[in-house]
Chains A and B, each alone.
Chain A
Amino acid sequence: MAPATSILSIEDLSIAYDRDKYAVKNVTATVRKNAITAIMGPSGCGKTTLLRAINRMHELYPNISTEGKIKLYGDNIYEMPTIELRRKIGMVFQRPNPFPTMSIYENVIAGYKLNGIHLKRSERDEIVEITLRDVTLWDEVKNALHKKGTFLSGGQQQRLCVARALAFKPEIILLDEPTSALDPVSTAKIEDLLVELKQHYTIILVTHNMSQAARISDNSMFMYLGELIEYEDTKTMFTNPKDPRTEGYLTGKFG
C-alpha cells in the first residue's frame, strides 16, 4: 500500500516494558495524512503501546526501552522536545477524562492554560466556540460554558476531550478505544465527528470494534503479539485479508 501523502513514518519500532519482553516488535508503517488509520488486534497485542509511542506517552513507564524511529514530516520524534511533540500530536483516552476542577470553557483551552500561553479574552472565546462547534458540542453546552465539564454525559465529555485535544490545532490525533465506554448513540456521534475531522487532521484510532474500523477507517493495521501482521486499505483488508491470522481475527476465530 502506498499512501498518498504520508505524515508519519514508523521505522522498525520495537518497544519492551521489561528487558526482552517486547510489546511492539519491528513495526514499520507510514501513516497517510488526512485519513483515519485504525489499529486492530486481540487484547494485549500492543495497540496501546504503539499508539502511545507516537506521542511518547509510553516513556512514562520507568523501565521501558524503545528502538527504531518515528518520523513526523521526516523529523525523528525521539529527538524532539516532548512538550513540542505533544502539542503537534494530541491524544484522546479510553475513558472521558475532562479536568474536574475546570469548567467546560477552561477544559477546551486547558492546553493553553497548562502551558502558560496567554491569550486575549476574545481569542479564547473564539477558540472555545470554534472548537466546540468542530466537535458538535457547541449547541448543547453554549449556555453552560462555565459549569464543570464533569456534569456532562459520557458522550459529551468525550467530545469535550476531543475538543481539548483539538484546541492546539495538532497535526495528528491519537485515540485509544475512545468509544468503548460509551453508548451506541454517543458512539455514532463520535464516529461521525472523526469522519468530519479527517478533512483537517490525521487520525489514528485504536479500536476493538471491527465494524467501527470498517465503517470509518481508510486504512487498517492488524497487530498480533506485538507484530504488525497486515497493513492495508480498510476495504481490502476486510474483503481480502492476506494473512490467515488477519482472516482469523476478522472472522471472529480469536480476539
Chain B
Amino acid sequence: MDSSILQKRKTMTTTTHFGARSFKSRLFFSIVLLFALITISIVFLIIGTLAAKGFRQINWSFFTQVAPDTFDAMMANASGKIIPGGILNGITGTLLLVGLASVIAIPFGIVIGIYLYENATKRYANVIRDITDVLQGVPSIVVGLIVYLWVVVDITKGYSVLAGSVALAIMMLPLIIRSTEESMKMVPTTLKEAAIALGTPYYKVILRVLIPSSFSGLITGVLLAVSRVMGETAPLLLTTLGNSSVNWNLAKPVSAVPLLIWQFYNDPNMVNLIWSSSLFLMGFVLLLNILSKWIAAKKSIQ
C-alpha cells in the first residue's frame, strides 16, 4: 500500500517537470549525436582521403616490385606518369616482422594469461597484472631504444629482423596476456569442473577444454594485437632500419610498410607513394579488425 502511494507521488513529480527534463535530455542527446557524427566522419575522411589519393598507384607492380629509387620516381613525375615500382620489400618485411613477433609473443602471452586466470587472486598474479599494465604504457620509441641496446648492439651486431620482431613482440605481449585472461574468464566454470570430475589431469583441462572453449577469444586478442603493432614505425626505425630490397635473413635489416611511408614522406619525389602505402596498411589493419569482430560475433551466437 505505502509503496504504491509512493509510486504515484513519483509519477506526479515526474509529470510536473516533464517539459524541462525533456528539453534537457533532448539537448544532451543532440550533443551526443553531434560528437558521434564527428567521430564517424573522421573515420570516413581518413579512408576517403587515402582512397582518393592512393588508388592511382595501386596496381600489379605495387605488390610485386620493391620501392623505386628517387631518380626513377623523379623521372616519372616529370613526365606525368605514375611512379614505377611498389612496396614489395615493405610488405614482405612487415609480414616477416609481425610473423616472428607473433611466434615470440603468442606462446608467452597465452601462458601468462592462463596463469593469471588460474591464480586470479594470488598476490604475485596481481603484481604480474600491474607490470603488464606498465608494459602496455611504455612508449613505443622507448621499447625500440631498449631493444636497440639489447639486440642490435649485443646480439645481431646491427639492425635486424630479429631486433624489430622482439620490439613488436614486447608491444604485443601485454595485449595478448590481457585478452587471454579475459577470454578464459568467459568460459563457464562448470565446463572446467566437468573436465576435472572426469579425472582429467590439470594440463589437459587447460589444453583440451579451456583453450578450445575460449579459442575465438584468443584468436580475436591475437588479431587485435597484430593490428596494433602492424603500423608501428618508431621502434622499427631503431631496430631494423629499413632495406631497399626484399630480405628474409633474420640477422639483416628489413623494410616494413610504415618504414616505407616514412621514407616516402622524406623524399619529395615519392609523395604519391605515401598515399597508396597508407591505403594498403589501413586496409590490412581494417581487415584484421573486421575479421576479429566477425570471429567474436560468431562465437557469441553459439
Contacts and interface: CB of A to CB of B under 8 A. Distances in A.
Contacts of B263: none
A254 to B, nearest CB: 27
Interface stretch (A36-44, A87-95, A215-223): A87-95
A86 B212 CA distance: 23
B190 interface: yes
A69 interface: no
Given A113-B208, A114-B209, A161 B199 contact: no
Contact of A90 (B191, B197, B212): B197
B191 A99 contact: yes
Contacts of A60: 193, 196
B188 interface: yes
Contacts of A62: 121
A100 B186 CA distance: 13
B123 to A, nearest CB: 13
Contact of A87 (B195, B199, B205, B208): B199
B190 A114 contact: no
Tell me the dominant secondary structure on chain A's binding face: helix
Contact of B198 (A95, A101, A164): A164
Interface stretch (A77-85, A186-194, A243-251): A77-85
Nearest to B121: A62
A115 B201 contact: yes
Contact of A111 (B188, B199, B213, B215): B199
Contacts of A97: 188, 190-191, 193-194
A84 B198 CA distance: 9
Nearest to B212: A101
Tell me the dominant secondary structure on chain B's binding face: helix
A161 B201 CA distance: 19
A168 interface: yes
Interface string A156-169: 00000100110010
A161 B198 CA distance: 11
A115 B193 contact: no
Contacts of A85: 199
Contacts of A91: 197
- Point out which of B188, B190, B197, B205 has the most chain A C-beta atoms below 10 A from its C-beta: B197
A110 B198 contact: yes
Contacts of A114: 195, 198, 200, 204-205, 208-209
- Point out which of B188, B199, B205, B302 has the most chain A C-beta atoms below 10 A from its C-beta: B199
Nearest to A113: B208
Interface residues of A, number: 29
A97 B191 CA distance: 6
A100 B190 contact: no
Nearest to B197: A91
B195 to A, nearest CB: 6
A26 interface: no
A86 B197 CA distance: 6
A128 B204 CA distance: 22
Nearest to A86: B199
A110 B213 CA distance: 14
Interface in A141-189: 150, 161, 164-165, 168
A119 B125 CA distance: 39
Nearest to B195: A114
A131 B197 CA distance: 18
Interface in B173-210: 188, 190-191, 193-201, 204-205, 208-209
Nearest to A62: B121
A252 interface: no
B201 A83 contact: yes
B197 A57 contact: yes
Contact of A57 (B193, B201, B209, B213): B193
B201 A100 contact: no
Contacts of B212: 101
Interface of A: 55, 57, 60, 62, 82-87, 90-91, 93, 95, 97, 99-101, 110-111, 113-116, 150, 161, 164-165, 168
Q: Closest 4 interchain pairs by CB?
A: A86-B199, A91-B197, A114-B200, A97-B190
Given A90-B198, A111-B198, 10 more contacts: A57-B193, A82-B199, A86-B196, A93-B190, A97-B191, A99-B191, A111-B200, A114-B195, A116-B204, A150-B302
